[in-house]
């Protein structure tokens, strides 16, 4: 007997199986680790409650569930969840559930969210919660019928008695084993009927509803969840007292909200809240207000919510609190540094010794002179410039010049440089002296200014810190201190206390204001 054909057939079978494995592996698309995927939907039932497990690759934080009347269904909305490749239960039998379907939608901002649609035979009560594997949907039959069922608005969701620690994998495996056994029994029954020439009994489809039940809608049928909540934002009021501003959001009942604060903008998202009939945009024209506009808006996708956006004139950190059905948004200008009164009045005026601008305002002149005394030239420039010129001791010599349409200040500086002279301007007076004399005068002026610092009375400055810790900022202030200055911190009020002369306190206050900003 030739065994080669059998060997060839076996080899072909192995190759075909290997190719099928390669095809299945190549058809598996790689997944983005930054995207949440809905992998599988599992079903189990215990007593009168059905448990549906939604297994996702990462926890789902933003979700909602709503009942829809036409067609009667339960829609689970999952923000930023991909539902393109989901494994559904192969077999199940439930008195209230017809089938499952997934759908991908986008909200008005263009953000994508996934939907799980559970088509129903009759009215149900449900509860949904987040679990370690994704989401769990608990369904319990309600009192209504399919044809005449009406979902009342704002009806509170009854609490379902759900067993703890349900292992959906184990329960699903048990159901599959039962269905396999049932399929084997049906196969034996069909073979028996064939042998006896009896009519063939086809395997019943457990998903197919009875004729009296509503049919599964077409894939293109729109699903529009109907909001059931009666919570409303009734009013937005604004008050301003003593430089403080408060905005009060009044709701029909206590609500949940999320806040996000940007540079010159703050957004409050009120979950499951609708806008009241009297709510509209509010524009603020007051100069002393922190706000320019308050804009409320409502969106029902992916879940019903109202957003209230506050637009500020400058960067500010609002304080947002809640009391019962009221939400308070408090605005207050940051505390500024406060200087105490001078310890005593003692003012020394040393004049303007160190300021000598290189350019003085004036008209153009034409001048020609030969071996002329420099004092006569300076007197002529004084008449031309409308400045009072004082010539000091040691200024002497003769100059020869020829100037045509030259600004008088440039002519003055050129003449002084040629003779080793300089000038100091004080108001409408120009003093001219030798460079050596001016240098000695400036050195004495510096000594006088230092003496002024030693004689100037000390002041105390309190600098309250709003956004950082005072002990973190104080180390940057020591280089500003004079020889007589000192620093300390009051930790209880987060305040820096500084004692120094007026000029140092002014510079330090501006420096701290530039550092004490919100991140």
Helix ranges, 357-457 (H): 374-385, 408-418, 435-455
Asked whether residue 470 carries a pLDDT value surpassing 80, the answer given is: yes
Same fold? 364-453, 458-515: no
What integer pLDDT is reported at residue 195 of this predicted model?
Answer: 52
For the chain, which residues make up each domain, given as ranges?
A: 33-151+165-215, 232-332, 364-453, 458-515
Q: What is the pLDDT of residues 499-515, one digit of tens each?
A: 988 888 888 888 888 88
> What local confidence, expressed as pLDDT, does residue 495 receive?
92
DSSP labels, 318-336: -EEEEETTEEEEEEEPPPP
pLDDT of 382: 81
pLDDT at 76: 92
CATH T-level fold of 364-453: Phage tail protein beta-alpha-beta fold (3.55.50)
For position 170, what pLDDT does the model report?
60
**pLDDT (tens digit per residue) in 353-383:** 333 444 555 678 888 888 888 888 888 888 8
Q: Label residue 10 by pLDDT band (50, 70, 90).
A: low
Which region holds residue 397: left if phi is over 0, alpha if psi is between -120 and 50, else beta?
Answer: left
Question: What is the rounded distance in angstroms from the CA atom of residue 233 to the CA atom of residue 238?
Answer: 15
Q: Give pLDDT, residue 294.
A: 93
The residues, any chain, with a CB within 8 Å of residue 295's CB and separated by 6 or more, are: 281, 282, 308, 309, 311
Nearest to 357 by CA among 395, 404, 410: 410
**CATH T-level topology, domain 232-332:** Immunoglobulin-like (2.60.40)
Top mean pLDDT of 285-294, 298-307, 450-459 is at 285-294
Which two structure tokens, joined as six digits, stand for 474? 């104080």
pLDDT digits (tens, 9 = 90+) for 218-253: 444 444 444 445 788 888 988 887 678 889 999 988
Res. 483 pLDDT band, cuts 50 70 90 = confident
Give residue 212's pLDDT. 46
pLDDT > 70? residue 284: yes
Q: What is the pLDDT of residue 155?
A: 37
pLDDT of residue 143: 52
Q: What is the CATH number of domain 458-515?
A: 3.30.1370.120
Q: For 159-210, what is each residue's pLDDT tens digit?
A: 333 344 445 556 556 656 666 766 665 666 566 555 544 444 343 334 444 4
What pLDDT sits at residue 115? Answer: 92
- Model pLDDT for residues 90-142, shown as the tens digit of each residue: 777 888 898 999 999 887 777 888 999 999 988 888 889 888 888 998 998 87
Q: What is the pLDDT of residue 168?
A: 54
The rounded mean pLDDT for the chain is 75
CA distances to 114, 195, 488, 493 from 498, in Å = 59, 107, 7, 15
Band (pLDDT 50/70/90 cuts) for residue 15 is low
- Give pLDDT, residue 105: 87
Interval 422-438: pLDDT, tens? 888 877 888 888 888 88
Which residue would you say has higher pLDDT here, 34 or 3? Answer: 34
pLDDT for residue 278 is more than 60 = yes
What 3-state class would DSSP assign to 481? coil
331: left (phi over 0), alpha (psi -120 to 50) or beta: beta
Token pair of 473, please?
A: 């900022």
Name the residue with higher pLDDT: 302 or 166: 302
pLDDT at 32: 77
CB 42 within 8 A of CB 55: yes
What digits encode the pLDDT tens for the residues 211-225?
Answer: 444 444 444 444 444
> What is the 3-class SS of 4-45, one letter each residue?
HHHHHHHHHHHHHHHHHHHHHHHCCCCCCCCCEEEEEEEEEE
State the average pLDDT over residues 50-70: 87
CATH architecture of 33-151+165-215: Sandwich (2.60)
CA distance linking residue 176 with residue 90, whole number of Å:
8
415 touches 401 (CB < 8 A) = yes
CB atoms near residue 131 (< 10 Å): 15
pLDDT at 221: 44
The whole-angstrom separation of Cα 439 and Cα 442 is 5
pLDDT on residue 496: 92
Q: With 0-12 CB in 10 A as exposed, 13-18 as middle and 19+ as buried, what is 239? A: exposed
Under the banding of pLDDT at 50, 70 and 90, the label for residue 12 is low
């Amino acid at each position: 007997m030739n065994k080669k054909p059998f060997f060839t057939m076996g080899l072909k079978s192995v190759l075909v199986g290997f190719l099928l494995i390669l095809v299945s592996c190549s058809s598996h698309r790689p997944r983005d680790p930054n995207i949440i995927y809905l992998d599988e939907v599992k079903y189990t039932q215990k007593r009168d409650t059905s448990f549906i497990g939604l297994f996702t690759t990462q926890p789902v934080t933003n979700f909602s569930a709503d009942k829809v009347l036409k067609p009667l269904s339960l829609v689970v909305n999952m923000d930023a969840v991909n539902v393109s490749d989901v494994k559904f239960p192969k077999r199940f039998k439930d008195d209230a559930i017809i089938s499952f379907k997934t759908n991908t939608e986008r909200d008005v901002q263009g953000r994508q969210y996934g939907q799980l649609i559970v088509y129903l035979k009759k009215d149900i009560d449900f509860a949904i919660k987040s679990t370690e594997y994704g989401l769990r949907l608990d369904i319990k039959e309600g009192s209504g019928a399919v044809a005449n069922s009406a979902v009342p608005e704002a009806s509170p969701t009854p609490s379902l008695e759900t067993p703890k620690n349900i292992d959906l994998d184990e329960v699903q495996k048990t159901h599959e084993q039962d269905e396999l056994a049932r399929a084997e029994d049906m196969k034996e029954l069909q073979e028996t009927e064939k042998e006896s020439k009896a009519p063939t009994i086809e395997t019943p489809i457990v998903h197919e509803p009875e004729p009296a039940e509503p049919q599964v809608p077409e894939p293109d049928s729109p699903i529009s969840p109907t909001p059931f909540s009666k919570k409303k934002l009734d009013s937005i009021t604004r008050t301003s007292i003593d430089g403080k501003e408060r905005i009060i959001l009044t709701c029909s009942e206590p609500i949940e909200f999320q806040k996000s604060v940007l540079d010159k903008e703050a957004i409050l998202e009120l979950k499951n809240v609708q806008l009241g009939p009297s709510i509209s945009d509010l524009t603020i024209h007051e100069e002393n207000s922190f706000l320019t506009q308050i804009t409320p808006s409502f969106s029902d996708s992916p879940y019903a919510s109202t957003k209230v956006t506050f637009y500020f004139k400058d960067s500010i950190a609002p304080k947002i609190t809640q009391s019962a059905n009221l939400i308070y948004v408090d605005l207050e200008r940051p505390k500024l540094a406060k200087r105490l009164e001078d310890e005593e009045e003692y003012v020394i005026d040393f004049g303007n010794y160190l300021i000598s601008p290189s350019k003085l305002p004036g008209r153009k002149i034409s001048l020609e002179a030969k071996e002329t005394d420099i004092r006569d030239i300076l007197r002529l420039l004084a008449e031309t410039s409308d400045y009072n010129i004082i010539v000091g001791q040691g200024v002497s010599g003769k100059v020869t010049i020829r100037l045509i349409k030259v600004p008088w200040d440039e002519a003055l500086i050129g003449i002084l440089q040629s003779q080793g002279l300089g000038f100091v301007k004080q108001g409408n007076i120009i003093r001219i002296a030798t460079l050596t004399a001016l240098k000695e005068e400036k050195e004495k002026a510096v000594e006088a200014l230092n003496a002024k610092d030693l004689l100037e009375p000390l002041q105390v400055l309190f600098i309250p810190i709003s956004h950082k810790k005072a002990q973190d900022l104080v180390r940057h202030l020591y280089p500003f201190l004079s020889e007589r200055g000192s620093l300390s911190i009051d930790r209880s009020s987060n305040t820096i206390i500084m004692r120094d002369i007026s000029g140092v306190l002014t510079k330090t206050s501006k420096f701290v204001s530039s550092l004490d900003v919100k991140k």
